[in-house]
Chain A
Amino acid sequence: MSEQSIYGEEHIKEEGKQYNTLNLGPTHPATHGVFQNVLQLDGEIIMGSEPTIGYIHRAFEKLAEHRPFYQVTPITDRLNYCSAPINNMGWHMTVEKLLGVEMPKKVDYMRVIVMELSRIADHIICNSVLGVDAGALTGFTYVFQWRERIYDIFEQMCGARLTTNIGRIGGFERDFSPKVIGMIRDFLKEFPAKFDEFEGLLLRNRIFMDRIIGVGPISAERALSYSFTGPNLRAAGVDYDVRVMNPYSSYEDFDFIIPVGTQGDTYDRFCVRQEEIRESLKIIAQALDNMPEGKHMADCPEFYLPAKQDVYTSMEALIWHFKIVMGEVELPSGEVYHAVEGGNGEVGYYLISDGGRTPYRLHFRRPCFIYYQAYPEMITGQMLSDAILTLSSLNVIAGELDA
């Protein structure tokens, strides 16, 4: 067995030589989630790795086959819980595609704002925790309160913070209140300066750069073969972004760029996420400035759960509420695939409906699950401590990994 390490030496297993076996995880504090890797170590160099996953498998695909469409939304929250609203929106759009319901422009723009805010929250966590794992705790304390600010905005929009269950099939449950708009405006005004401070701590920091450049690299070709998507693919130099390639929710209206890296290593993944946060800020500002007039939901009473006060006061709303909840609405049968650009890449929903109350089959394309299989290849030949950094920079979220 011979492995080329990034340090240029070739490691050959000598006759009779034994490797140390090390269990990294499943509850190791440095792995930020339930990941187990059984590592084969030659000194401190990783010679092989065997990941075990499924520790928090919650049978989402089976559960989804037993739930009405609107009750699937809370399941999607619990996939990538760092950017739950993106998953919610993706699911709503999938069902709307199946139903053939057109959204008003205003809903699209509101969705874009929510999705980009959660992308920022997602990338903030990933990049600041990468700093923590490299020994730089300060940056984490700088930006983590800004993630709280984003969660405050979500709380103001829908009442929940982490697993939001935000929006509905057919739009939003309510319009953004002036307070929400004000909070987003304040965020856009105050965050960039703090974010620059955070970036100043790490981006050109010699110690940080020496620590993470060249760690956990993957070539564009291998990344594509492993079906990488999102920032991890873009760090390897492939400019694939669902928002641009297959625009949904009026993303074609916005002016933004796709940052790409060249080396596909931890430093490039860090830089790509940093730039994506700036692009997200640009998109949110454009969406707020150009917010169209109109309603916050589509005109589809047969699918959109009516407002609670209407259910109590108007007969028609009560009937629709009853029909939707009891599953007496005619649903089309068919199969539809819809993809959105999640925090970690292409989040896809493959939905088959047989016209029944619940999906006949629902498959989640979970980017974490798909790219985590490249992890052994990425860390073989590297130091043990590099494996931790690679894992944080890949931003593998256990909830999405294990479904």
Chain B
Amino acid sequence: MAISKEQVQDKLSAAFGDNILAYSEPYGMLKVEYKATEHYKIVRLLKEDETFRFRFLTDLCAVHYPDEAGRELAIVTHLHSLENNFRLRLECRISDKSAEIESLTGLFAGANWMERETFDFFGIRFTGHPDLRRILNVDHMDFHPLLKQYPLEDSSREDKDDRFFGR
């Protein structure tokens, strides 16, 4: 049984109306953009719907767009319906001032570390997450390194002399 992009779009539009902002299809994968308030509800609907059965959370990550004021942080979720072999990309935007979004840990056990990683690197707080701590970086780090304002190398380091690296 295969499902089509139109079916997914119709279902989401019927259920969420204006909260769905756009559909697109970059490089063959359906991408849905929606308001961040609906994040949990959309994923739950897609997971629990008996036709679509998006029961596999492939990936969850964030992207920082510092130039787009008010919607700087994108949370990108990849879902996979294994029975229908249909992949789907979900994207919603939040402001980096109040970087908060509902956690998916209630739906997918695997979301736990993916969200911890996203918190670690982007500072996005997932409400309802059972254990939101840094995961790859040290606990006493006071910034979120994948945000674009942070340079690749720590400029306060004194142990590296740039002359030796031709920079």
Residues of A in contact with B (beta carbons under 8 Å apart): 53-54, 57, 59, 61-63, 65-66, 97-98, 222, 224-228, 238, 240, 245-246, 334-337, 339, 346, 348, 350, 352, 360-361, 363, 365, 369-374, 402-403
* Interface positions of B (Cβ within 8 A of A): 26-27, 29, 31, 55-59, 61, 63-64, 76, 78, 82, 85, 87, 89, 108-110, 112-114, 117, 121, 134-138, 145-146, 152
Whether B63 contacts A352 by the Cβ 8 Å rule is yes
Question: 14 additional contacts, CB 8 Å, given A225-B109, A370-B113, A372-B113?
Answer: A59-B152, A62-B146, A62-B152, A224-B55, A227-B57, A227-B110, A238-B82, A245-B82, A245-B85, A361-B63, A363-B59, A365-B58, A365-B59, A373-B110
Point out the residues of chain A lying under 8 angstroms from B57, CB to CB.
Answer: 227
B107 CB, min distance to chain A CBs, angstroms: 9
- Given the known A-B contacts A222-B109, A246-B85, are A53 and B152 also in contact in the complex, defined by CB atoms under 8 Å? no
Interface contact B58-A225, CB-CB below 8 Å? no
Q: When the two chains form the complex, which single residue of A97, A240, A246, A369 contacts B113, counting CB atoms closer than 8 Å?
A: A369
- Could you say which residues of chain B place their CB within 8 Å of the CB of A373? 109-110, 112-113
Given contacts A57-B136, A245-B85, contact A224 B56 (CB under 8 A): yes
Task: Provide the residues of chain B in CB contact with A352, threshold 8 Å.
Answer: 63
Chain B residues with Cβ below 8 Å from A350 are 59, 61, 76, 78
**Nearest opposing residue in chain B for A67, CB measure:** B152
Cβ-defined partner of B59 (8 Å) among A54, A225, A334, A348: A348
Q: Which A residues are CB-close (under 8 A) to B64?
A: 361
The interface residues of chain B lying within 8 Å CB-to-CB of A370 are: 110, 113-114
Of A59, A227, A365, which contacts B145 at CB under 8 A?
A59
Q: Which residues of B contact A403 (CB under 8 A)?
A: 136
> How far does the Cβ of A64 sit from chain B's closest Cβ, in whole Å?
10
* Contact status A54-B76, CB under 8 Å: no
Smallest CB gap from A98: residue in B: B27
| Docked-complex contact B113 and A337, CB < 8 angstroms | no
- Known contacts A97-B27, A337-B29; A53 and B135 CB within 8 A of each other: yes
Contact A402–B78 (Cβ < 8 Å): no
Contacts of B135 in A (CB 8 A): 53-54
A87 nearest CB across to chain B (Å): 16
Docked Cα-Cα span, A337 to B112, in Å, equals 21
**Within the assembled complex, what's the spacing in Å between the Cα atoms of A59 and B145?**
9
Complex contact B152–A66 (CB within 8 A)? yes
Q: Which residue of B lies closest to A50 (CB)?
A: B131
16 contacts between A and B (CB under 8 A): A53-B135, A62-B152, A98-B27, A222-B109, A226-B110, A227-B108, A246-B85, A334-B27, A335-B26, A336-B26, A337-B87, A348-B58, A350-B61, A350-B78, A352-B63, A370-B110
Q: How far is the CB of B127 from chain A (nearest CB, A)?
A: 20
Given contacts A61-B121, A350-B76, A365-B59, contact A402 B136 (CB under 8 A): yes
